[in-house]
Amino acid sequence: AQSVTQLDSHVSVSEGTPVLLRCNYSSSYSPSLFWYVQHPNKGLQLLLKYTSAATLVKGINGFEAEFKKSETSFHLTKPSAHMSDAAEYFCVVSPFYNQGGKLIFGQGTELSVKP
């Protein structure tokens, strides 16, 4: 069975410092992995996705994530946090590679950015 675990429910950083949001996945085969962001009372926006091409994936707004099969991890990083990055972030795995189908969400990590 596929699952995803976000290791921190809340992360707080200062503006201008690096961001690291941790995610581990469990999958019986090579998964598709995504990071989505949700701003308060808004829908979800796709930040980036991994589909077995390059292991380092670049997304929008300066975010990137690295797929590490040996560690079953897909951590999200950004070199310098901005106040507008404050939101809820979800790591997501798709159990149906190369097909449409349901997404499995982690519990979410709330990112706070202090001035």
Q: List contacts with another protein (CB under 8 A).
A: 32, 34, 36, 41-46, 49, 51, 53, 90, 94, 96-108
User: Residue 95 is which amino acid?
Assistant: P
**Minimum distance, C-beta of residue 46 to another protein, in the bound complex (Å):** 6
Return d(Cα 64, Cα 59) in angstroms, integer: 5
The residue to which tokens 């429910």 are assigned: 9
Q: How far is the CB of 35 from another protein (least distance, A)?
A: 12
Nearer to another protein, 80 or 107 (CB): 107
Q: How far is the CB of 17 from another protein (least distance, A)?
A: 26
Nearest to 112 by CA among 93, 87, 94, 95: 87
